[in-house]
Amino acid sequence: MNHRDFFSLIKKGLPCMSYVVHGEEEYVKEQAIRALINTIEPDLRPFNVTELSKPSPQELAETCDTLPLFSDKRIVLCYELADGADAAKYKGCFEEHAPETALLFVFKGKLAANSAMLKYAKKSDTEVLFDPLTPADCAKWCVKHCTEEGVVLRPDTAQMLVRAVGTNMANLVSETDKLIDFAGKGGEVTSEAISACARTSLDVRVFDMLDMFTYGKPGDGVIALHALFDEGSDPMSIAAFLSGRFKIMLEARRGIDAGKRKNEVASQMEGNRYANEKAYDAARRFTSDELLKLISDISDTAFMKISGKMKEDKYLELVLLKHEWRQFPV
* Ordered structural domains, the chain, with CATH: 3-129 (3.40.50.300), 135-197 (1.10.8), 202-322 (1.20.272.10)
pLDDT at 245 over 90: no
Q: What's the CA gap between 67 and 194, in Å, rounded?
A: 51
pLDDT in tens, 80-92: 999 888 888 999 9
Across 306-319, average pLDDT: 87
What's the confidence (pLDDT) of residue 274? 67
Burial of 15 (0-12, 13-18, 19+ CB in 10 A): exposed
Q: What's the CA gap between 61 and 234, in Å, rounded?
A: 48
Across 191-197, average pLDDT: 83
Q: What's the CA gap between 225 and 324, in Å, rounded?
A: 17
Name residues whose C-beta falls within 8 Å of residue 280's C-beta, 6 or more positions apart in sequence. 252, 255, 256, 262, 265, 266
Across 304-326, average pLDDT: 85
282 pLDDT band (50/70/90 cuts)?
Answer: confident
Higher pLDDT, 52 or 306: 52
What's the confidence (pLDDT) of residue 201? 63
pLDDT in tens, 123-174: 999 999 999 888 899 999 999 999 999 999 999 999 989 888 888 898 899 8
**Least confident among 100-109, 238-247, 273-282:** 273-282
Across 73-83, average pLDDT: 94
Mean pLDDT value across the chain: 89
Question: Percentage of the chain with pLDDT > 90?
Answer: 51
| 131 three-state secondary structure | coil
What's the confidence (pLDDT) of residue 327? 59
For residue 127, list its beta bridge partners: 20
Across 71-83, average pLDDT: 93
Higher pLDDT, 279 or 251: 251
pLDDT at 328 over 70: no
Higher pLDDT, 268 or 8: 8
200 pLDDT band (50/70/90 cuts)?
Answer: low
**In terms of Cα–Cα distance, which of 299, 314, 164 is closest to 243?**
299
280 pLDDT band (50/70/90 cuts)?
Answer: confident
DSSP string covering 8-40:
HHHHH---SSEEEEEBS-HHHHHHHHHHHHTTS
Burial of 83 (0-12, 13-18, 19+ CB in 10 A): exposed
pLDDT in tens, 204-243: 677 778 888 888 788 888 888 888 888 788 888 888 888 8
